[in-house]
A and B are shown apart, each in its own frame.
Chain A
Amino acid sequence: MILEHLYKSYGNLAVLSDCSFSFSPAGTYCLMAPSGAGKTTLLRIILGLEQADQGSVSFPWLSRPADMSAVFQENRLCESFSPMDNLRLVTGKSLNQDAIRRELSFLLPEESLSRPVSTLSGGMKRRTAICRAMTAGSDLIVMDEPFTGLDEDTKKQTISYIKSRQNGRLLLVATHQPEDISLLGAQLVTLKDGKLI
Chain B
Amino acid sequence: MNLLNIDNLHASIGDEKILNGFSLKINSGETHAIMGPNGSGKSTLSYVLSGKDDYNVTQGNILLKNENIIELSADERSKLGLFLAFQYPIELPGVTGMTFLRTIINSSRVAKGLPELEGIELVKIIREKATELNISQDMLKRFVNVGFSGGEKKRFEILQMSLLDPSIAVLDETDSGLDVDALRTVGSGVTNLKNKDKGMLVITHYQRLLDHIVPDFVHIMVKGKILESGGPDLAKIVEKEGYKRFIDAN
The answer to whether A and B interact is no
